[in-house]
Amino acid sequence: MWNMIKTDIAYDRVMFVFLYSVGFIAVITNAILGDLEEQLSILMFFSVVVIGVTAGIEEIKTKRIRFFTGLPVSVRQLGIFRYPVFVAYWTSLMILLWLSTLISQQAQIGLDYLWWILTRTGAVFIWIACIGMSQDFPFCYKRKGPGYVFKWMVLLLGVFGGPFVYFVTNPREQTEPFFSAFSDVFLTPTGALGLFLLGLSLMVLSVFVYERRRSYTE
């Protein structure tokens, strides 16, 4: 599976070099100027969207799933294969952002920053997992009907639910009652950990959904 991951990264290396270059410039700017975390986290979120959309288009164009099923790897490994690059990319960005904030604020960072990062990470994981499941559900049933119902349910959750939580928990908007209500829930230890674990759980669930596919040749 690791050879597959390395091949995938090499295939999209131009995109990753570009996105990481932008990311490094952004976090260096934050380290120098400070107080740019929220704007940069939004930029980073859209970079994940770019990777996700690009990967989806390439998967369809190259019929990658059909090709991978011919390799000596299990179906579960193929289901897991879709996520390590996303997780590693996002985690590395969050670490860089944290380090830049640590520099700009001279190590004066409280635990609230951790809850802020976990909230965003959980929202991104929800988005990634739901997009993955939406691709698989139509192929899990003999009849297309139930599969497409589940497809649109998780797709709506991923497209709207994850980004919604991501953007309404902007600490800069906590003076607004609407934003404050969500921040009071998610920017807390319980809310942040709960959202993070929900994102991880959905990613695990998406692997099992992938295993239930009746066809890998479409």
- For 101-117, the pLDDT digits (tens) are 888 776 567 788 888 88
pLDDT reported for residue 196: 93
pLDDT digit string (tens) for 134-143? 888 888 877 7
Mean pLDDT of the region 135-161? 80
Domain positions in the chain:
2-211
Residue 130 amino acid letter: C
Q: What does the alpha-carbon distance between residue 104 and residue 94 come to, in Å, rounded to a whole number?
A: 15
Instruction: Write out the two tokens for 168.
Output: 């309404």
| pLDDT value, residue 65 | 67
CA distance 58 to 14: 14
The conformation of residue 36, written as its DSSP 8-state character, comes to -
Q: Please state, for a pLDDT cut of 90, what percent of the chain lies above it.
A: 7
- Residue whose tokens read 């890998």: 216
pTM of the complete model: 0.83
How far is it, in rounded angstroms, from Cα 43 to Cα 198? 23
The pLDDT, as a whole number, for residue 201 is 94
Cα separation of 137 and 130, whole Å? Answer: 10
Element (H, E) at 78: helix 75-81
Examine the pLDDT at 170 and tell me if it is beyond 70. Answer: no
Percent residues over pLDDT 70 in the chain: 83
Instruction: Give pLDDT, residue 205.
Output: 92
| Mean model confidence pLDDT for the chain | 79
Among left, alpha and beta (phi > 0; psi -120 to 50; other), residue 35 is left
Task: Give residue 178's pLDDT band: very low, low, confident or very high (50, 70, 90).
Answer: low
Considering Cα of 153, then 125, then 45, then 123, what sign does the dihedral take?
Answer: positive
Please give the helix or strand (H or E) that residue 184 lies within, else none. helix 177-186
Question: Exposed, middle or buried by CB within 10 Å (0-12, 13-18, 19+), for 9?
Answer: middle
pLDDT value at position 74? 82
So what's the pLDDT on residue 78?
A: 80
Please give the residue that has the higher pLDDT: either 107 or 120: 120
Distance CA 163, CA 154 (A): 13
